[in-house]
A and B are shown apart, each in its own frame.
Chain A
Amino acid sequence: MAAYTARRLLWLCLTLLFISLVTFVLMHSVKGGPWDDERSVPPQQVENLNRKYGLDQPLWRQYTLFLGNALQGDLGLSFQRQDRAVSEIILSGFKVTAVLGLMAFALATVLGVTLGVFSALHRNRLPDYGGVFVATLGAAVPAFVLGIFLKSVFAVELGWFSTFGWDTHAGVVSGWLPRWDQMALPVVTLAALPAAYLARITRASLLDVLRQDYMRTARAKGLGNGAVLFNHGLRNAAIPILTLAGPILAALVTGSFIVEQVFSVPGIGGAFVKSVTDRDYGMIMGTTLFYALVVVIANLAVDISYAYVDPRVRYR
């Protein structure tokens, strides 16, 4: 087991190294550099900027310098943010994105599973059609449409919620969660799609379980409806739901660019997109590697847990 983990960790390092090299090469081969603007500046000012950010060095030297610093946890400075450290910008943005994602995940799970169970128990009757309709709607309506719609109705017209922002200074949990009126709409918007998926998979899975022989047995031995549903039905139906929940959670905590844009939530999505259009080299390298690290670690965790469950994996 230890050897397997060590082997995987080595691969992780190589993967990150490879990704950093590809990103670096792509970034420098795109036309238009960080100082290209509609207004010309004299060549000496270009040289001053190149010197300040080390872009006067040959590319291989820039890359090895980056690697050396990155190994010590220093991802360099942002060109576009008053020389703030890239790592600091990424972490503060990721914190917001991850919190938003976790809230949405919790809401999606509760909503989706409830709706799915409800539909399954009323199979092919009006409540089921209602549930399926809501779930289909949630899956079909894009986040920006839902977001703008919710905002227009509940924030602009009714005034129940704030139209924008994520102020954690005066929030529900200081430093982590904003006020309810700022949090509600983005969380609901982001939760809609995964909730719909979870509702559909829960319904299908539970319907399948309800047909099983052991369910009939449970009823036959005189168990009540609640006990049958929770102890035997849901527990067995949970396996496919959990399988889906993993990737959903990963997707939610890393990406919600559209929702962040619609509600002006200061997450990492906007920072990443802007870094590319600005040719903010430090930020591009930093955010790409950060995303890669998150994905690679998630995969590693899954693989290692498989290996734990299934010994055959360890020897391959």
Chain B
Amino acid sequence: MEIRRLVTARWFATALAVLGLALAACSGDKDSSNSGSASKAPPEQQVLKLRLQGEPKTIDPQLSNQAAEVTLTRPLFAGLFTYNEKLEVVPNLAQEMPSVANGGISPDGTTYTVKIKPDSKWSDGKAVTAQDFVYSMQRAIDPKLAGPYASFFYGINGAAAYNSALGTPDQPKTPSDAELATLRASLGVSAKDGSTVVYKLTQPNPSFLNMLALWTAFPVRQDVVEKGPTWTEAETHVGNGPFKLAQWSHNEKMVLVPNPNWAGEKPSLQRIEIYFIADDFAAYQAYQAGELDVVTVPPAAIKEVATPGHPYHDQLTIEPNLATFALFMNNKMAPFDNEKVRKAFGTAIDRKAYVDGVLQGGGVPATSWIPPGMPGYNDKLGSQYNFDSAKAKQLLADAGYANGQGMPKVTFTMVNSDTNRLVGQFVQAQLKQNLGVEVDFNYVEGREYGRVFTQNLHQVTIQRWSADWPYPDNWLPDLFSSGALNNHAAYSNSKFDGLMLKAAAETENARRLGLYDEAHKLMIDDAGIVPLYNPVTYVLVKPKVQNYIITGLDGYIKGDLNFHKAFIAASSN
């Protein structure tokens, strides 16, 4: 009932969007390159108004995992490493990039020694020490904290043992406090001196610096955290990022101001106001009314805004996400245990019609899994799955199910949302028309979808994967190795497994990428999954906001990695 009413609301919102756009067309602002060449407005005008889709669960780095949380950890905290605009890892608080040559990485590749820049400070003026990083990593792994990204750091000596100390739901364990303390102390992270952190790994991992650039590895300070779970409130929060938290009115807004003790590039913005607005269209209206400076364009308005000549056209940035949507067909469940059926389904969907029609331009057709914009991208992969109805029908006939005759019933399981309902209608029609197959769509609640998908109970779904860091090891081993934790296509190929082991042990970058590419091709050719498209985000930025840099790794608020570079331009009149 509620859903139906909301759907109608969306529909009405769409109609109003068109109306609003038509009206806005009469009074558009001009000129905007956002390139950063304009002169800066005085400090009191350096205010940026942004939107988050709701109250974030937390801003605690070790407890964050959703895009809405990650997006706030980046201005408020700073790790040893971060990403530049090309998405390469660069030092942030670290003095330099560790390498074998400068002694930062041991010759066997298992010990990382990182020196912290001497002027690094917390927002209350105290120095950031190596011990802060040691404490934070212990905390990230601490089983009692139950941090969501703990397992990403299992490559650190002793991390898996410490994080697993309480056992599993089937086999719980009850270690004593002394045992836990011992496990914590034997974790492979230590302070060599006040400003040198040492990480010891179980085996070489060339992606380890990517992991240190993850928000989970950002430092927090023990004496602050130990004040209790409300340490993240504005009154008690202490961070070390370019900004600090000045106000957090729950369910309403957050205000960030420059951290006076930040030693890096000084932010020009004197105030970032982040409003919690649940509805996409409400946020778009707030942008139209001048109450927000940056907003993601809702699908209903994409077509208009993207049309040249539209008043907002100059304010538009189209940012490809480091993400891919694909058909996840359960390789262990009939009829998708038959490779030819998977290939037939993968060839029967017109991707261009999908992204243009259903998504209103919110994606770019793709047949390879690793998205463009990061190492490992290979545009040649999967071209055999380009839309071809005749070929698809032939593949299905070869599989023994000509026109779907005798094929087991196929049901898609999807999260119940407006967009997914449109996707469902489209895919149903495509498969009927191009393959002669009738499929069902089962729409379920988000948590129920999570249960079905992660336990591989689904027959087929359309699922997204987004980059945690831009390297193929975040895209292949954990998703397609036999029995791997996130292998929810239930793909299994021993040759692929072998390549993953070889790639993990390879420290030379070009050779490593070569191994991943070989495996990537193998999995695509097997139709382990069949990619559909890479999502893109349409972001509007007011012309007065300059040097606003958006990257594919940004969290919920596009631009979060580089808020400190943005500024408000002086008005020209």
| B54 to A: closest C-beta gap in Å | 7
B450 touches A37 (CB 8 A): yes
Among B145, B275, B285, B450, the residue within 8 A (CB) of A156 is B285
Q: Which residues on A sit within 8 Å (CB–CB) of B5?
A: 142, 144, 258
Binds B, one of A8-16, A44-52, A301-309: A44-52
B230 touches A277 (CB 8 A): no
Interface string of A222-234 (1 = CB under 8 A from B): 0000000000000
Interface string of A260-271 (1 = CB under 8 A from B): 011110100011
Among A36, A39, A82, A163, the residue within 8 A (CB) of B58 is A82
Q: Which residues on B sit within 8 Å (CB–CB) of A164?
A: 275, 277, 282-283, 285-286, 291
| A67 to B: closest C-beta gap in Å | 24
Q: How far is B8's CA from A142's CA once the two chains are assembled, in angstroms?
A: 11
Binds B, one of A123-131, A145-153, A205-213, A290-298: A145-153
Q: How big is the A interface, by class?
A: 35 or more
A81 touches B55 (CB 8 A): yes
A264 touches B445 (CB 8 A): no
Q: Which residues on B sit within 8 Å (CB–CB) of A44?
A: 143, 163-164, 166-168
| B482 to A: closest C-beta gap in Å | 15
User: Does chain A have a CB within 8 A of B23?
Assistant: yes
| B37 to A: closest C-beta gap in Å | 30
Among B144, B251, B282, B448, the residue within 8 A (CB) of A263 is B282
Q: Which residues on B sit within 8 Å (CB–CB) of A167?
A: 249, 252-253
B151 touches A50 (CB 8 A): no
A47 touches B450 (CB 8 A): no
Within 8 A of A (CB), among B249-305: 249-253, 275-279, 281-283, 285-286, 288-291
User: Does chain A have a CB within 8 A of B502?
Assistant: no
Among A39, A43, A52, A266, the residue within 8 A (CB) of B486 is A39
Q: How big is the B interface, by class?
A: 35 or more
Q: How far is B450's CA from A277's CA once the two chains are assembled, in angstroms?
A: 12
User: Does chain A have a CB within 8 A of B408?
Assistant: no
- Also in contact, A43 and B163, with CB within 8 A (given A32-B449, A152-B20): no
User: Does chain B have a CB within 8 A of A31?
Assistant: yes
Q: Which residues on B sit within 8 Å (CB–CB) of A266?
A: 55, 249-252, 276
| A242 to B: closest C-beta gap in Å | 31
Q: How far is B122's CA from A10's CA once the two chains are assembled, in angstroms?
A: 55
B232 touches A36 (CB 8 A): no
User: Does chain A have a CB within 8 A of B148?
Assistant: yes
Interface string of B440-457 (1 = CB under 8 A from A): 000011111111011000
Within 8 A of B (CB), among A48-79: 48-52, 56
User: Does chain B have a CB within 8 A of A169?
Assistant: yes
Among B57, B146, B275, the residue within 8 A (CB) of A81 is B57
A46 touches B450 (CB 8 A): no
User: Does chain A have a CB within 8 A of B485?
Assistant: yes
B146 touches A49 (CB 8 A): yes
Among A34, A39, A42, A152, the residue within 8 A (CB) of B19 is A152
Interface string of B392-415 (1 = CB under 8 A from A): 000000000000000000000000
